[in-house]
Amino acid sequence: MRLRHTAAVALAAATIAGATLVAQQINGAGATFPDPIYQKWFAEYNRLKSAVQINYQPQGSGAGIKQITSRTVFFGASDQPMTPEQLQAAPGRILHFPTVLGGVVPIYNIPGVTAELKFTGPLIADIFLGKITKWNDPAIGKVNAGVNLPNTDIVVVRRADGSGTTFIFADFLAKVSPEWKQKVGVNNALQWPTGVGAKGSDGVTGQVKQTPGAIGYVELTFAIANKLSYGSVQNSAGQFVRASTESVTAAAEAAVKQMPADFRVSITNPPGNAAYPLASFTWLLLYEDAPDKKQAATMVEFVKWALTDGQKFAAPMGYAPLPKAVVDLEMKALEKVKVK
Amino acid sequence: MLLSKARTDEFFFRGITGAFALLVIIGVVAIGVELVRESRLSIQEFGWQFWQTDTWNPVAGQFGARPFIWGTLYSSLLALLISTPIALGIAIFISELCPAWMRWPLVFLTELLAAIPSIVYGLWGIFVLVPFVRSLEVATPEWMRAIPLFSGPPLGVGMLAAALILSIMVIPFSSSVAREVLKAVPQAQREGAYALGATRWEAIRMALFYARTGIVGAVMLGFGRALGETMAVTMVIGNSPQINWSLYKPQYTMAAVIANEFTEATDDLHLHALIEIGMVLFIITLIVNMISRMFIWSMARQRKPRAAAAPPVAAKATA
Amino acid sequence: MIRDRYRRLLSHVIVGLCGLSVLVALVPLALILFYVLSQGVSSLNWAFLTRMPAPVGEPGGGMANAIVGSLIVSGLGAIFAIPIGIISGIYAAEYAGTRLANAVRFAADTLNGVPSIVIGVFAYGIAVLPFRQFSALAGGVALGIMMVPLIMRTTEELLRLVPTSLKEGALALGATRARAVFTVVLPAALPGILTGILLALARIAGETAPLLFTAFNNRYFSTDIRQPISTLTVQVYTYAIAPNEDWHRQAWAGALTLVAIVLTCSLLARIATARMEKLQRGS
């Protein structure tokens, strides 16, 4: 008993000593997709302003929304906008700020095929619905004339864990396939009609690489970082577009005209010739009126930096920078956050 | 004067130590209560149907736990089938057969298996075990594939990979407890068997019979461990909720679905359904431990009269 | 005669099978250790052990904060679990047979079987949500809950193995029950209890799920127990699911460090036990 007492006192002394040395640390949690660029931003910003330490943990979009709602972290991050019910449940008004853009690409492993395949939206939906089961199905051959597709079974590989990537993927498929919308729907975790569930994009990539005839989906950043080959997808203008930072930014540009004031918008299957159809914003979530005004002021300054100077780090890492029109709208919206 | 001080000292001793014991019990009860409380939306919505439905649809808000209960029980039972003979073999080898100098290192090595973090098992599983299982599946002859037990495309991930990795993780637990139990068999019993002309195996068989309830308890403890394993399983089982006897088909366990969907779930009903799965797992673990406890207790109660009759021999046996 | 030969043959076969099962168990152990070693050793260097995490693309990041954090959180868990485990174990040993003793034994075994993710969720509910704060303390609570059953059962079993003659001798000399237990019986059982504690530490050293919801994680170096803190398991997990090769390699180095720490603890436990037992037997 006594030993425990002295130990507790010693520990308290050490932590008080530790606390006085620590700079202002702000905690955030949320999506795994933007984690690499967020960590880059926080490190760069820390170099500029050494007193600001932002601790972000990629626990998942859902966790981010949960944590900011229960105020266990100061800011959240999500690959999908909060639903009206979630906004209602929060103790205060939560504002969304798009920070960067990302895309989802289809990856595949077909023995003997090295060409880049073309997919239409309905085609992908039918494959993932389990309606098309072989690679030499005429529907696939129709858009890939000249490619010798073998008579191999298609093995669908999807995400087992809930993820923003799944949300974007499902969001797109629901727009191009009424059957998908009715049977499966849109969420970060789904009841998949077929396929094997792999854990994380890493798991999907590993499974696809090991399984002949497999098809899966991963983030563009992941495909670039791991030098994976991926197919092109047909957009709403009928063009087959290969995902790249340019084509993803083009998708956002097309959506600027209908941008709602709170930035909660889906930009999958947008208009525009050069737009990549499987693109999405990722958002930073901040309270309009947070109790800690100092942290709010720090975060607003950081977001302003991220939207301007920070964007130059995006493309080298595989993220698409925001179009200028969106950044302008956001700078104005940032003034809504109360910093005094 | 001396008597009343002794009595108050006794009172405080019993009171304080008892309070700590009560704290442990309260803790466990609190976990159970918290589980029920945090799953009330799902309990209200689905009731007993939760245990009988196969749908798991976060979009439509339809949740049923049956495929997960199946996956957990099937994978754990398979793990038990594979690991028990091996664990017993190790326990017998260490306690009865191996030379004294080998004992210490072997015990250390088996405990090392228990010390490897489950995430390391999971990563090793994806990169080493799954390709190995896939090559096994590809090499399966056609006539075997016709049997429902081995039907399905060769994916690598699936029930077989999960059962294998679970059995590796469970072996150290079952074998350590079995070893301790065998150590407690009085030497007099063994000496009696040899005096009657028994072979090595027959003497071991006698010891196993004597310690049978404890051995069953050890096996049940391993079973309990397999039920709750999360990380390693989710990386190799394929995560598809379906009820299927086939070893090659991907399936899903309770612990795995909680780990996969908990951090991303934002819909309250979805969250509560996941926690209700945690509650189901808690109840099943409770039942398994209850059964294993009962066996170990009956074994311990059997031991006392005999141990009292031969203390010097028992002391030699534990050395 | 033939029956004898059959019996002897059967005996040899079974003995052989037992030896074989030892090898069968050791094969995956060797494979896993070899795999972790080969993946992690190339990234394990002094920089790794002493530097903070670096963002993607910048080489030379480390896990120093995670190593320190793991030690702090495990230490907190031990501070929480050791008194509770030992004292309730004393009760279960001294008053064995009472309803409370049976109940606490059952509770401890149940607690032992609860999946770590459920304990993480529970600890989140009682140690994080009410304070709206992730903290190393909450992580210590979660790990402590997992350590209690192991420590309690080891203490109880070992106290019961101590010959009653020792305790009776102390009581005969006029000691109270408390004094007899604390000054005579407990020291006699100490080597085993220490093993139990070190094994409990080894058990929780590899846990990720309970820490995700309690200690959170921290990119920066922190020893403040009321703030989020980095731990090896969570950091390894975060890096392992990330897209870059560099982080993957660091994840393996982290896993290797973890296995090395747990190995050392188990080894120390065995050596300490053997030495203490030798001392006791000598005196």
On whether any CB of chain C is under 8 Å from the CB of B81, the answer is no
- The torsion angles phi and psi of B55, rounded to 5 degrees, stand at -75, 140
Give contacts of A206 with chain C, Cβ < 8 Å.
none
- C57 and A32 within 8 Å at the Cβ level: the answer is no
Closest CA in chain A for residue C55: A40
Q: Which of B218, B215, B211 is nearest to B186 (CA)?
A: B211
| In chain B, residues 113-152 whose CB comes closer than 8 Å to chain C | 113-121, 123-124, 127-128
B168 with C28: CB under 8 angstroms? yes
On whether any CB of chain C is under 8 Å from the CB of B292, the answer is yes
Give contacts of C246 with chain A, Cβ < 8 Å.
none
Domain boundaries, chain C: 65-282
User: Given a contact as 3+ CB pairs under 8 Å, which chains touch B?
Assistant: A, C
- B22 and C104 within 8 Å at the Cβ level: the answer is yes
Q: Which of C217, C219, C242, C243 is nearest to C231 (CA)?
A: C217
B94 with B82: CB under 8 angstroms? no
| In chain B, residues 199-218 whose CB comes closer than 8 Å to chain C | 199-202, 204
d(CA C138, CA C131): 10
Q: What is the CATH number of the domain that holds B192?
A: 1.10.3720.10
Residue C281: its pLDDT value, please? Answer: 67
User: Span C238-242, mean pLDDT?
Assistant: 78
Give contacts of A65 with chain B, Cβ < 8 Å.
266
Give contacts of A58 with chain C, Cβ < 8 Å.
238, 242
Residue B60: pLDDT over 50:
yes
**B250–chain A nearest CA distance, Å:** 7
Residue C162: pLDDT over 80:
no
On whether any CB of chain C is under 8 Å from the CB of B197, the answer is no
On whether any CB of chain A is under 8 Å from the CB of C222, the answer is yes
Pairing of strands A232-234, A52-57: unpaired
Q: What does the pLDDT look like over A117-127, one tens digit per residue?
A: 999 999 999 99
Residue A16: its pLDDT value, please? Answer: 45
Give contacts of C176 with chain B, Cβ < 8 Å.
5-6, 9-10, 13
- A191 and B55 within 8 Å at the Cβ level: the answer is yes
C175-to-A248, B230, C171, C252 alpha-carbon distances in Å: 81, 49, 5, 55
How big is chain B by its Cα radius of gyration, in Å?
A: 24
Give contacts of A57 with chain C, Cβ < 8 Å.
216-217, 228, 238
**pTM of whole model > 0.90?**
no
Residue C56: its pLDDT value, please? Answer: 67
- C55 and A70 within 8 Å at the Cβ level: the answer is no
Residue A320 is classified by DSSP as B
Give the sign of the dihedral formed by CA A319, CA A325, CA A326, CA A332.
positive
Residue B299 within any structural domain of the chain: yes
C143 with C210: CB under 8 angstroms? yes
User: Span B63-92, mean pLDDT?
Assistant: 92
Q: pLDDT confidence of C60, banded at 50, 70, 90?
A: low
Q: pLDDT confidence of B309, banded at 50, 70, 90?
A: very low
Give contacts of C14 with chain B, Cβ < 8 Å.
200-201, 204
Of the listed ranges A94-108, C56-70, C205-219, the least confidently predicted one is: C56-70
Residue C227: pLDDT over 50:
yes
**C7–chain A nearest CA distance, Å:** 49
- B120 and C92 within 8 Å at the Cβ level: the answer is no
Q: What does the pLDDT look like over B14-40, one tens digit per residue?
A: 899 999 999 999 999 999 999 899 888
Closest CA in chain A for residue B264: A62
| In chain C, residues 98-157 whose CB comes closer than 8 Å to chain A | 128-129, 132-134
Residue B19 within any structural domain of the chain: no
Residue C77: its pLDDT value, please? Answer: 94
Residue C252: pLDDT over 60:
yes
d(CA A141, CA A148): 8
Residue B223: its pLDDT value, please? Answer: 82
**C131–chain A nearest CA distance, Å:** 8
Residue C257: its pLDDT value, please? Answer: 87
DSSP-derived 3-state class of residue A278: coil
Residue B210: its pLDDT value, please? Answer: 79
- B260 and A60 within 8 Å at the Cβ level: the answer is no
Query: For chain A, which ranges sit under pLDDT 50?
Result: 1, 7-8, 10, 12-22
Most confident of A47-51, C128-132, C153-157: A47-51
Instruction: Please name the fold of domain C65-282.
Output: MetI-like fold (1.10.3720)
Pairing of strands A155-159, A214-219: parallel
How long is chain A? 340
Most confident of A49-53, C60-64, C248-252: A49-53
Q: pLDDT confidence of C143, banded at 50, 70, 90?
A: very high
User: Span C124-141, mean pLDDT?
Assistant: 88
Q: pLDDT confidence of C76, banded at 50, 70, 90?
A: very high
What does the block give as tokens for A36?
């690499």
User: Mutating which of A65, A169, A191, A208 best tests the B interface, going by the most B Cβ atoms within 10 A?
Assistant: A191
CB nearest B285 (choices: C90, C110, C176): C110
For B76, the domain range is 67-303
Q: pLDDT confidence of B305, banded at 50, 70, 90?
A: very low
C236 with C226: CB under 8 angstroms? no
Closest CA in chain B for residue C109: B289
User: Span B231-250, mean pLDDT?
Assistant: 89
User: Span B50-55, mean pLDDT?
Assistant: 89
Residue A210: its pLDDT value, please? Answer: 81
User: Mutating which of C17, C21, C162, C201 best tests the B interface, going by the most B Cβ atoms within 10 A?
Assistant: C21
CA-CA-CA-CA torsion for B217, B222, B223, B229, nearest 10 degrees? 150
d(CA A105, CA A225): 13
- A211 and B234 within 8 Å at the Cβ level: the answer is no
Q: ipTM more than 0.90?
A: no
C-alpha C228: how far from its chain's center? 22
Averaged confidence pLDDT in chain C: 84
Residue B129 is classified by DSSP as I
Half-sphere exposure of C160 (CA within 13 A, CB side): 15
d(CA C142, CA C127): 9
Residue matched to tokens 């399905």: B152
User: Span B83-90, mean pLDDT?
Assistant: 92
A229 with A113: CB under 8 angstroms? no
Residue C240, C-beta contacts closer than 8 angstroms, at least 6 positions apart = A202, B119, B123, C248, C251
Residue B283 within any structural domain of the chain: yes
Residue C40: pLDDT over 80:
yes
Residues of chain A above pLDDT 70, percent? 93
Residue C189, C-beta contacts closer than 8 angstroms, at least 6 positions apart = C155, C158, C159, C161, C162
Instruction: Please give the full DSSP string across A121-176, using - where no structure is assigned.
Output: HHHHHHHHHTS--BTT-HHHHHHSTT----SPBPEEEEESS--HHHHHHHHHHHHH
d(CA A116, CA A19): 55
Residue B312: pLDDT over 60:
no
User: Span C228-255, mean pLDDT?
Assistant: 83
C49 with C67: CB under 8 angstroms? yes
d(CA A243, CA A107): 12
Residue B303: its pLDDT value, please? Answer: 53
User: Span B76-81, mean pLDDT?
Assistant: 93
Question: Order of strands, edge to edge, in the sheet holding A155-159?
Answer: A52-57, A24-30, A75-78, A279-287, A94-109, A214-219, A155-159, A196-198
A28-to-A62, A83, A89, A254, C36 alpha-carbon distances in Å: 13, 20, 19, 30, 32
Residue A311 is classified by DSSP as G
d(CA B186, CA B167): 30
Residue A67 is classified by DSSP as H
Residue A340: its pLDDT value, please? Answer: 81
Residue C108: pLDDT over 80:
yes
Give contacts of B282 with chain C, Cβ < 8 Å.
114, 118
CB nearest C220 (choices: A53, A70, A219): A53
**C51–chain B nearest CA distance, Å:** 23
Q: pLDDT confidence of B146, banded at 50, 70, 90?
A: confident
User: Span B41-67, mean pLDDT?
Assistant: 89
Domains of chain B: total: 1
Q: What does the pLDDT look like over B195-208, one tens digit per residue?
A: 998 888 888 888 88
Q: How many CB pairs under 8 A join A and C?
A: 95
- C55 and A36 within 8 Å at the Cβ level: the answer is yes
Residue B167: pLDDT over 90:
yes
In which element (H, E) is residue A240 found?
A: strand A240-241
d(CA A54, CA A45): 9
- A14 and C223 within 8 Å at the Cβ level: the answer is yes
